[in-house]
Amino acid sequence: MKVLANDGISQSGVDALEKAGFEVITTNVAQEQLINYINESNIDVILVRSATKVRKDIIDACPSIKIIGRGGVGMDNIDVDYAREKGLHVINTPAASSSSVAELVFAHLFTGVRFLHDSNRNMALEGDSKFAQLKKAYAKGTELRGKTLGIIGFGRIGREVAKIALGVGMKVIASDKFVGKAEIKVDFYNGQFINVEIETEPIEDILKHADFITLHVPAQNDYVIGKKEIEAMRNGVGIVNAARGGVIDEVALVEALDSRKISFAGLDTFENEPTPAIKLLMSPYISLSPHIGAATGEAQDRIGTELASQIISILNAASV
């Protein structure tokens, strides 16, 4: 059987699949050529990340496909319900990248409170001639310890963010439509741990009380954070979005940054990927990354091996 990992897969995933007798193809096929390639190559499994889309046209035109796999959490680039109606298995790896995304959230938070996103730009340009001025410009940093982090979306990634926040010494508050409370286990290097129970609150309370806000929700039809929500936030709040583009009104965000209602933002995802708005890219108040939440070697290894395990299990069961 043939597996097309169109957006790539870790070597550990390749090794596991090949050991089970699968042929793994890592050629990146252009979206418009996928149907022909899948049919000509008689592909049984297609694996994607966020770049490749598996819509109704591919599902209808490619009868050889048995499994569609998404390396990561969100599956908004796959017509999941339609595929399952047609008898296809649709799988993902919701837990594999949680730690990596959570660490990126804190990379943006630490960057924002110490102005590293802007100082890195200006030190390169003027560090040799305006060192004293730059030192003064970036001298009013903020510590995260003792501050309140509001987490909107308290699933796997939100809880991983909570673990780090608790370890840093932050107060954590959270909001989720489907989660009433969660016990967060904070592990330490020497085997010790603490458990902290967090009850979720209405989003209005998060907006009102949080010093920093991070979003961990799936793709939405409407903004989770728009102008109204920003107005309800504390003055000087920092906000991070490493979830999905389109959950924050970017026009309202830029306006709030310019007015200093929001002190800084950290963005890993954007409404218009792969061409984010120029105002976002040029803002001195935004820490930017190109949708790399799950892009660590450790996460990709976990994703690859987890996908391989699910594929092997499904197809072995089908052959019995």
302 is catalytic: no
Is 98-288 the same fold as 2-94+297-319?
Answer: yes
Instruction: Give me the pLDDT at residue 208, please.
Output: 98
3-state secondary structure of 306: helix
Q: Determine the pLDDT at residue 319.
A: 66
Instruction: Please report the pLDDT score of residue 306 as a whole number.
Output: 96
Report domain extents, the chain.
2-94+297-319, 98-288
d(CA 67, CA 80): 11
Q: Which CATH class is domain 98-288?
A: alpha beta
Residue 244 bears catalytic tag:
yes
Which residues neighbour 15 within 8 Å (Cβ) at sequence distance 6 or greater?
A: none
317 C-beta neighbours (distance < 10 Å), count:
8
Catalytic-role residue among 201, 255, 271, 273: 273
Q: Which residues of the chain have pLDDT under 50?
A: none
Taking a C-beta distance cutoff of 8 angstroms, is the pair 109, 101 a contact? Answer: no
| Spatial separation of the C-alpha atoms in residues 70 and 7, rounded to whole Å | 10
Q: Which of 293, 309, 306, 312 is nearest to 96 (CA)?
A: 306
126 is catalytic: no
Provide the 10 A C-beta neighbour count for residue 77: 18
Say whether pTM exceeds 0.85.
yes
The radius of gyration of the chain from alpha carbons, rounded to an integer in Å, stands at 22
The one catalytic residue among 49, 108, 159, 291: 291
Tell me which of 156, 159, 216, 244 is the catalytic residue: 244
Digit-coded pLDDT (tens) for 31-87: 999 999 999 999 999 999 988 999 999 999 999 999 999 998 889 899 999 999 999
Class of domain 2-94+297-319: alpha beta
- Please name the residue ranges forming H helices in the chain: 11-19, 34-41, 56-61, 80-85, 98-113, 116-126, 131-137, 156-168, 203-209, 227-232, 250-259, 278-282, 297-319
